[in-house]
Amino acid sequence: MFDLADGATISAKKDGIVNIGGLLLLRDAELFRRASELTILTEGYVTYGGLAGRDLEAMAQGFQEVLDEDYLRYRIRSTTYVGEKLLEAGIQIVEPPGGHAIYIDACRFSPHLSREQLPGQALVVALYRHAGIRTCEVGTVMFGARQQPPLDLVRLAVPRRVYTQSHMDYVVEALVELYAQRERIRGLRIVGAPEALPHFSARFEEV
């Protein structure tokens, strides 16, 4: 597969079953040299990229374990299970569900909220208040109102080897409960945000 690409990035947190780190793969020698110089300034020397030895060892082990067919079958099926249950309840997601996350269509979840009222972020807040479930908006807040992304989504990322079947059921039940009272979800507006990566540290108030 990599023979067909000029480069690739890999999040080790997602694909290496570790807490931190990732990989940048480049075929072009000059681009690699320039990236290596930048890495020294921002992450550390190119041979360790700011990571501790234990994290590198865990990553090496994780990339072996993550290719186990039984593990992959269980992980993908767990995520698919959540997607199927949400669709059965009338909650629209991006289809088909993948192995990394479920993406809820927030505009369809809360049609009473306009795009200006940030339905994705409003659902993130409502779900945390309702059931203590942390999610992430992928839409107007993340990309900015000027870009106006085609969808406002809420990402339910599924960490590897963390959650059990009962956790999956809890997430489904919480979302179905919230969906039944979705008209109570209030819109939001941004009251403070940095120019770069606003979705990490923006502040909101209800409208």
Report CA-CA distances (Å) from 108 to 94, 105, 115.
11, 5, 11
Q: Which two tokens stand for residue 170?
A: 């809890």
Instruction: pLDDT band for 47, please (50, 70, 90 cuts).
Output: confident
Q: Give pTM, 2 decimals.
A: 0.84
Which one of 42-51, 171-180, 196-205 scores highest in mean pLDDT?
A: 171-180
User: Residue 136 and residue 157: Cα distance in Å, rounded?
Assistant: 8
Mean confidence (pLDDT) of the chain: 92
Predicted confidence (pLDDT) per residue in 112-171, tens digit? 999 999 999 999 999 999 999 999 999 999 988 677 889 999 999 988 888 889 999 999
Identity at 157, one-letter amino acid code: A
Tell me the domains of the chain and their CATH numbers.
2-65 (no CATH), 69-206 (3.90.1150.10)
Average pLDDT over residues 182-197: 92
pLDDT score of 178 more than 90 = yes
Average pLDDT of the segment spanning 24-49: 89
